[in-house]
Structure 1
């Protein structure tokens, strides 16, 4: 999976309405509601585009035999699709790039329904909504923390999640001292995995984390959530607890390294657990050794994990087959087994928790869903970080952080965070934050 961020170009929107087509029973050879047409679905899942995704199409066509689904798998999904948004050629159904800010949603995507209408059926609806219209529905939900090889940690004497950042650093040091594993792997070279650190917002500051940050003049100051997140990454690297040369890392290989126990941990979402468990089949190890634990801080004596929707499926406003596109979207998020197969949290309200989160249940980890932005402030956060040129959900500033931490760039922890705070506050004031 790739989650790079790139700037998306603006376009002019012509308002369109769409009648929802819901999935139903097999009609015995005739598409439900007479829906037909050819659609192209963009996906970041290059690993399963020729296997599992084709199986979903087979099941879908039992209900909609007259809809032909073609996938276009893209390795650098964020980068390539964000650029393609400049044109009208970005498929019929696609994962909404994270580079698209909420106020840009109407420029590129079809409205699916109101927040009120869809929130009774699906979770994480607010995450891709603007002015009470929903533009994307999550393919599945994900919990955030760090994925680890528990066998390696047990060899180092750690059998439960560290409760503080210092305990976490001590745990990684124990891994380095007592095992042959690399304690932490940054995935610096691919870049997009560094954005996974930001997905932990809310695990420290709670549901109002974004709103709190947007009022802060210096988020990268001791006691604030942003300082905790990025300070931990800085300390891991500065302490020599990550790979020796981050410029040579490789995402696909990192899954094998974690599965085999050559690496002990990476900050990722629960979506990564089944992928790494799957890698144990070819590189050795056992699937049960791979799990996800919460970030190393507690509030009121409990761990918290920010839970949110993964990529959201949306429909291109330029699609020539919007009914067929909507049929696929509705069926995929509601009736397919994709969420379960990926070890994810179902986007459907009331669904059971996946097996990938069994350790969360054992350690009493509480789930946190971020509160939606107040009306009129839907894009305030992105307005601030974009103007400050701090790609919170990208990779560049954390690459810079790693370079400073490992001594490959000038500066130190204090100067690096002071620069971030200065830029942030100037942008915050400019945007009336």
Structure 2
């Protein structure tokens, strides 16, 4: 299963706004009001976790309903979550509690979702509060947070003679070369065909500079792909591993679901992904009869003041339908899920509640001394990207880099970067 990574999802599409006034609500819809009133009634919770809806979520239901006996929770798990919810949001019928689709423009959140509270107050307790906020009001909270880095197979690294994790791009490429030379594993698997895993360079913005405002500054730069700039540096690493022949022999035939089994059984050395992927790879190892402890997670190969940095961001944002007839019940579920369910631990991800500890599967990751960097969101970045038709969170131009690197096209890295800068500068001038 893919879990959406909000830090990389910079492209948004506006939807036709549904009517922003609810029906016979048990609360009003002004700031933070969804918590008012006695929780009661039936609520529908939409989820993308088709794998958990009949197991873990049923346990959540029992625990929650024991605390709120006047509330009955029903789940609806959607395989094509983004597509189905986007369509339903053209009506008022899109559940009582839901995960905000990535295709919804942040500016449109007040039309669709109930205010959760003021960001300055929420920030005292939660992380990632500004990622779903409009004018200082949050309309959702992250179900958990993702650290960005590289999932790798420890046994493959050991067989290749790698005794220390790479801390520079040059060391990373050298380690991938060692895997190619000394093992039968694919050093670095791109998941080129599925595409979405290929967008990791954008998720690494901030890892090179250690600057939480890296995305904000990119929106003010006419040439982010100029030599030495952070965007050029992270994108170049993808090109470099492709040029060195350290990726799949035929990237057009990759398969995301199968890649889990391949890395779990030592047929892949590394994949750039978020921390959410670690439990999935460990589960694949268990199912394949391999050791789940062989799956590791490392920071991006850069150092800032002697320490690696992992940009972090919230995953899907949980929200309350502004049209819900039972907003107090919906808010009760919202608060319980974020604060008490422990879902972040199950996902092997960072907690939204800042006081909670990181899960056990990130213990080795944190032992590297990695610094988590919560990035400042920048709505203007999305506007520029849309105008430029580049797709920072889409696979197209990353595939161009891979194809150029492996010799499948006549493009060069330099020509691709120059073209991107030209489009970006023109889009910035147009957006203003």
Match of 1:98 in 2: 102
Any conservation in 1 of the 2:97–2:330 contact (CA below 8 Å)?
yes
Deviations 1:225-262 (A, max 9, x none): 21122111122223221112223222222111111111
Unaligned runs of 5+ residues in structure 1 are 23-32, 374-378
Match of 1:290 in 2: 295
Unaligned runs of 5+ residues in structure 2 are 22-28
TM-score (norm 2): 0.90
Instruction: Give the whole-Å Cα distance in 1 for the aligned partners of 2:414 and 2:88.
Output: 39
TM-score (norm 1): 0.90
Q: Matched residue pairs, number?
A: 417
Residue 19 and residue 2 in structure 1: after superposition, are their counterparts in 2 closer, same or farther (change >3 A)? same
Match of 2:391 in 1: 391
Instruction: Give the whole-Å Cα distance in 1 for the aligned partners of 2:192 and 2:403.
Output: 10
Match of 1:7 in 2: 13
Residue 302 of structure 1: SS of its match in structure 2?
coil
Deviations 1:172-218 (A, max 9, x none): 11111111111111122222222343222211231110111112111
Match of 2:152 in 1: 148
Question: Which is further off, 331-340 or 344-353?
Answer: 344-353
Match of 2:203 among 199, 209, 233: 199
Instruction: Give the whole-Å Cα distance in 2 for the aligned partners of 1:152 and 1:48.
Output: 31
Report the alpha carbon displacement of residue 304 of structure 1 after superposing the two structures with TM.
0.6
Deviations 1:240-294 (A, max 9, x none): 2111222322222211111111111111111111111111111132122112101
Match of 2:245 among 214, 220, 240: 240
Match of 2:73 among 69, 73, 96: 69
Report the alpha carbon displacement of residue 356 of structure 1 after superposing the two structures with TM.
2.1
Please say if 1:257 is aligned against 2:262: yes
Match of 1:128 in 2: 132
Residue 240 and residue 89 in structure 1: after superposition, are their counterparts in 2 closer, same or farther (change >3 A)? farther
Instruction: Give the whole-Å Cα distance in 2 for the aligned partners of 1:189 and 1:58.
Output: 41
Report the alpha carbon displacement of residue 328 of structure 1 after superposing the two structures with TM.
1.2
Could you say which structure has the greater relative contact order, defined with CA pairs below 8 angstroms and 6 or more residues apart? 2
Please say if 1:360 is aligned against 2:368: no
Report the alpha carbon displacement of residue 372 of structure 1 after superposing the two structures with TM.
5.1
Q: What is the 5 A alignment of 1:310-325?
A: 310-325=315-330
Residue 59 and residue 365 in structure 1: after superposition, are their counterparts in 2 closer, same or farther (change >3 A)? same
Instruction: Give the whole-Å Cα distance in 2 for the aligned partners of 1:86 and 1:238.
Output: 45
Match of 1:27 in 2: none
Question: Which is further off, 43-52 or 114-123?
Answer: 43-52
Match of 2:45 among 38, 41, 45: 41
Please say if 1:220 is aligned against 2:234: no
Residue 282 and residue 143 in structure 1: after superposition, are their counterparts in 2 closer, same or farther (change >3 A)? same
Any conservation in 2 of the 1:2–1:76 contact (CA below 8 Å)?
no
Match of 1:420 in 2: 420
Match of 2:116 among 92, 95, 112: 112
Instruction: Give the whole-Å Cα distance in 1 for the aligned partners of 2:56 and 2:201.
Output: 28
